[in-house]
């Protein structure tokens, strides 16, 4: 009886997620390193490991695809230790969307023009909607 109840609960919880169609944070496709400055490339840390975000230091903006629509958002605040033009926590805004990106940035002697982002999270807040948090990891690359 308990096993049947757990199976029914699991189906009920999984059904809404399966019926929503596109993922709230989707892939942004191939992105180029900017001609100047640095960029952070972030992949989803779970599941299909798609490129889901790219942040540039100059101009200070973030490209993500929310509900299947790719758009750039301007950085509105940043705090905490970081490097390469990025802080540990950066906030980006546009329309009714606020995106907070938390990164752990580590340097590596093997990377001559960049750094690793072994862990991070993207938090998406929208008025009247649930908050979405996506674990990410990535790399920072800088133009020569």
Can you give the chain as a three-state secondary structure string?
A: CHHHHHHHHHHHHHHHHHHCCCCCEECCCCCCCCCCCEEEEEEECCCCCCEEEEEECCCCEEEEEECCEEEEEEEEEEECCCECCECCEEEEEECCEEEEEEEEEECCCCCCCEEEEEEEEEEEEECCCCCEEEEEEEEEEECC
For residue 15, is it within any domain? Answer: no
Compute the average pLDDT of residues 112-120. Answer: 94
Number of domains in the chain: 1
Domain that includes residue 62, residue range: 23-142
- Residue 82 belongs to some domain of the structure: yes
- Identify whether 10 is part of a domain: no
pLDDT digits (tens, 9 = 90+) for 12-67: 333 333 334 456 789 999 999 999 999 999 999 987 889 999 999 999 999 999 99
What pLDDT score was predicted for residue 23?
A: 64
pLDDT higher than 50, residue 122 = yes
């Amino acid at each position: 009886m308990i096993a049947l109840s757990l199976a029914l609960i699991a189906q009920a919880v999984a059904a809404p997620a399966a019926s929503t169609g596109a993922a709230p944070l989707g892939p942004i496709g191939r992105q180029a390193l900017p001609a100047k400055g640095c960029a952070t490339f972030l992949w989803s840390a779970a599941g299909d490991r798609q490129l889901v975000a790219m942040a540039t230091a100059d101009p200070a903006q973030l490209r993500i695809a929310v509900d299947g629509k790719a758009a750039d958002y301007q950085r509105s605040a940043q705090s905490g230790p970081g490097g390469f033009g990025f802080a540990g926590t950066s906030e980006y805004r546009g329309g009714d969307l606020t995106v907070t990106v938390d990164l752990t940035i580590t340097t590596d002697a093997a990377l001559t023009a960049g750094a690793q982002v072994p862990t991070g999270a993207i938090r998406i807040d929208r008025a009247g909607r649930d908050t979405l948090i996506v674990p990410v990891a990535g790399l920072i690359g800088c133009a020569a």
